[in-house]
Structure 1
Amino acid sequence: MKFVSTRGHAPAVGIDDALVAGLAPDGGLYVPESIPAVDLATPRATLADTALVTLAPWFEGSRIESQLHALCGHAFAFDAPLRPLAGPGDYLLELFHGPTAAFKDYAARFLAGALGALRDPAAQATTILVATSGDTGAAVAAAFHRRPGFSVVILYPDGRVSPRQAHGLECWGDNVHAYRVDGSFDDCQRLAKQALSDPTLRARIALGTANSISLGRLLPQAAYYAHAAAHHHTASGHALNLIIPTGNLGNACAAYLARAMGAPVGEIRLACNANDTLPQFFDGVDYAAQPTRATLANAMDVGAPSNFERLRHWHVDDAALRAAFVARSVDDATIRATIRAAPARHDIVPCPHTATALHLLETLRTQGDGRDWAVVATAHPAKFDSIVEPLVGAGVELPSALAACLARPAHGAHLDDSDDALARVLLKTGASA
């Protein structure tokens, strides 16, 4: 299978080259020339088994095709349970049971394993550059920590992540380097994309990425949607509709891919915070990136979602794209109210991001929608203790892996919001890797 750029000005490449490059040379995102049909309606015994079936067609002819079973076994070693909520037809898809308590652990571990398997041991070490709005960086750090042949450079917006998220970004050391940037996530993302598309810089160091712009992040995420939908459909006879908290749109694109490949996924709705670039577009306004606003659901503080290019590529025009999704914005006051009411109403304590999706579910029920809906829980509420605990009036127990992260010392540094400053960091890191 070949992969092409969303911008149409780069040659088609195989999966191995697309994974290593991260971003296409014309600055676009890699997408498959076609989406394969796969039996994703048959439930498999484990999430790793479903991941293998989901990923196999993408890796036909890859140098690591024979290692795919082991890669999936490692990346999907922890479950993604679909938990019934208090209301009929209400479910929670829990994606926070990995080492950094966020959904990004699955794909980050897969990508790290795949890039490790593809790497020539005699080649120059690779620097993985990642911009994060809170959770991506920690997942990537955990996945690549002390992995031979790789270093990691994390860019995150100073003061715009929770204290526990910040500690989770800076607590690794060794081959992981975290930098606080004056600005928003969009500023961090712009810096990363500029570096990745700079041919002069890439001629001097081996550079890759682990953001959701990478196929190695996008494709594995389809597995947990396929797994949950198959088991739900077999048990109930109903398609599983999804409400996905979204910022950069990678997780939503993965759900779209799972459905396009054959998973019994129904409607996909996008829950956004006050950063309403997507809700405005889906309500009929011409697409335009917006300045980022800081919110309680900080991992979704994105005004220029990169994966929008992929959604546009997969639809014939904007009218078709608008017909395929619904996006709604949820403000901070509503996030607070939803968290406060969730223990009694749903028997859970949600993180702020999950709360945006819970609010959309509550609105659907008020409107009389009786279909089966799964709210996608993208992070553990303990990562946002300073927000959640005062609202619910109780402490939130720390997962053991997150507690271990918080017990380690932090090692971060400041970075100016400039291409030159980042280039100097990357050249230094690449030379010492």
Structure 2
Amino acid sequence: MRFVSTRGHAAPASLDDAIAAGLAPDGGLYLPERIATVDGDRIALPPPSDDLAPTAAALLAPYFAGSRLRDALPAICAAAFDFPTPLRPQRGDGDHLLELFHGPTAAFKDVGARFLAEVMARLRGADDPDITILVATSGDTGAAVGAAFHRRPGFRVVILYPDGRVSPRQAHGLGCFGDNVRALRVAGSFDDCQRLVKQALADADLRARAPLGSANSISLGRLLPQAAYYAHSARAHEAAHGGPLNYVVPTGNLGNALACWLARAMGLPIGDIVLASNANDVLPRYFAGADYAPQPSVATLANAMDVGAPSNFERLRAWHASDDAVRAAMRAVAVDDAAIADAIRTAPAHHGVVPCPHTAVGLHVLDALRAAGDARPWAVVATAHPAKFDTIVEPLVGHAVTPPAPLAAQLARPAHAEPMAVDYDALRALLLD
């Protein structure tokens, strides 16, 4: 299968080249030239089980048909997905949490980052120059990418994050690796960080002198594997209950929600998809009928979703014939900080869980669906462990939240991040150093 740019001005690429490049030469995002389907491509999905890796290998096989990594795909998935992604019933009838925070950095970003690292390590030749993985993060992506590429020969990682706009524990997790991982705390927003990364990836002279790769959700190698946990959980629900599962997806840069849509488009038993946004309401306003209009991001309790220009909207729009078709595919709801705080405070009693602020956005939307009379089965995507946001969560629930062992190990290491202005020339000089 070949992969094409959302902007239509670049030659089709192989999967290997698309993943290595990150962005297409015309500045667009790569898409498969067609969406593989379970029936049309005869995808032989294994019986539902606790192990995500076999489902992922089968689901992604059509996209790897032309890759030199085709035969290695099962091993790639086994190495990347060595932690559980359970679908847990909650106290409400038909309520579920899809827990995606059991990886090494306690956030769903571990799924795509680990898969991408396994792929890129196998694509890199023994005599190839070192590759710099450049990543902008609103909180969780950078740590996941840092962990996935830490001490991998032939790679270095440069992480850009908005100074003062991530939680203290997130900031520690971004700067705790050292070795081949470098963290830059940028005096700006996530959108500023994302623009700097895109500018570097589009700089042909820079890339000729310092090979770059991307690990943001603009990378096809991040998007494709995320579809696997939706396929996995939806099939498990169907096997147990005989019908499709609907999803509430907390979203910022839109990659996670787009992966859910992709799994549904591939023929998995997924019903409705609701995007749960914070006060950065670009997507809710668009889905309500307004023009798509990126805006400066604002800081919220759910900081990893503080995105005013979601990159993956370009993919979502390219996959649909019109704005009306996009709006028919899903809907979006905005949740303010007061509602997020209330959802965290009440979740232990209502749902039997202590959520992170982003998961709390989803739980608020679920509660609203139930209040409106929706009795269908829903899964809220639990994107991160609440211990990453102790300064927000613990005062609201009234007790300490114990970090999982991998997160505790990161917090025990020293951390360091370098200050940087929103200055492309400074970033370019650093990448050439």
The correspondence for 1:246, drawn from 232, 251, 254, is 251
RMSD of aligned Cα (Å): 0.9
Instruction: Give 1:44 shift.
Output: 3.4
Aligned to 1:145: 150
SS in 1 for 2:295: coil
**Aligned pair 1:270/2:287, yes or no?**
no
Distance 1:117 1:360, change over 3 A: same
SS in 1 for 2:76: helix
**Counterpart amino acid of 1:356?**
V
Deviations 1:317-347 (A, max 9, x none): 0011011111000000000001000000100
**Counterpart amino acid of 2:89?**
P
Aligned to 2:140: 135
Q: Using the alignment, how far apart are the partners of 1:41 and 1:372 within structure 2?
A: 23
Instruction: Give 1:42 shift.
Output: 5.9
Contact 2:188 2:421 in 1 (8 A): no
**Aligned pair 1:180/2:190, yes or no?**
no
SS in 2 for 1:18: helix
Question: Percent of pairs identical after alignment?
Answer: 67
**Aligned pair 1:24/2:24, yes or no?**
yes
Contact 2:166 2:304 in 1 (8 A): yes
**Counterpart amino acid of 1:330?**
V
**Aligned pair 1:339/2:348, yes or no?**
no
Q: Using the alignment, how far apart are the partners of 2:46 and 2:59 within structure 1?
A: 12
Deviations 1:38-57 (A, max 9, x none): 24776433211111111111
SS in 2 for 1:267: strand
Instruction: Give 1:3 shift.
Output: 0.5
Aligned to 1:2: 2
Contact 2:45 2:59 in 1 (8 A): no
Instruction: Give 1:226 shift.
Output: 0.3
Instruction: Give 1:80 shift.
Output: 0.5
Q: Using the alignment, how far apart are the partners of 1:200 and 1:42 within structure 2?
A: 46
Aligned to 1:325: 330
The correspondence for 1:97, drawn from 95, 102, 114, is 102
The correspondence for 2:83, drawn from 48, 54, 78, is 78
Instruction: Give 1:63 shift.
Output: 1.0
**Ranges in structure 2 where 5+ consecutive residues have no aligned partner:** none
SS in 1 for 2:264: helix
Aligned to 1:431: none
**Counterpart amino acid of 2:106?**
A
Contact 1:41 1:230 in 2 (8 A): no
Aligned to 2:48: 44
Contact 1:41 1:229 in 2 (8 A): no
Q: Using the alignment, how far apart are the partners of 2:44 and 2:298 within structure 1?
A: 38
Instruction: Give 1:61 shift.
Output: 2.0
Deviations 1:233-262 (A, max 9, x none): 011012010000000000011111111111
Distance 1:160 1:40, change over 3 A: farther
Counterpart mapping for 1:407-422 below 5 A: 407-422=412-427
Deviations 1:99-151 (A, max 9, x none): 00000101101100100000011011000000000000000000000000000
The correspondence for 1:374, drawn from 375, 379, 382, is 379
Q: Using the alignment, how far apart are the partners of 2:235 and 2:89 within structure 1?
A: 16
Deviations 1:144-193 (A, max 9, x none): 00000000000000000000000000000000000000110000000000
SS in 2 for 1:274: coil
TM-score using structure 2 length? 0.98
SS in 2 for 1:347: coil
**Aligned pair 1:258/2:263, yes or no?**
yes
Contact 2:296 2:308 in 1 (8 A): yes
SS in 1 for 2:238: helix
**Counterpart amino acid of 1:44?**
P
**Count, aligned residues:** 428
Q: Using the alignment, how far apart are the partners of 2:47 and 2:26 within structure 1?
A: 39
Q: Using the alignment, how far apart are the partners of 1:63 and 1:177 within structure 2?
A: 30
Contact 2:287 2:331 in 1 (8 A): yes
Instruction: Give 1:200 shift.
Output: 1.1
Aligned to 1:171: 176
Aligned to 2:214: 209
Deviates more, 1:172-181 or 1:415-424: 415-424
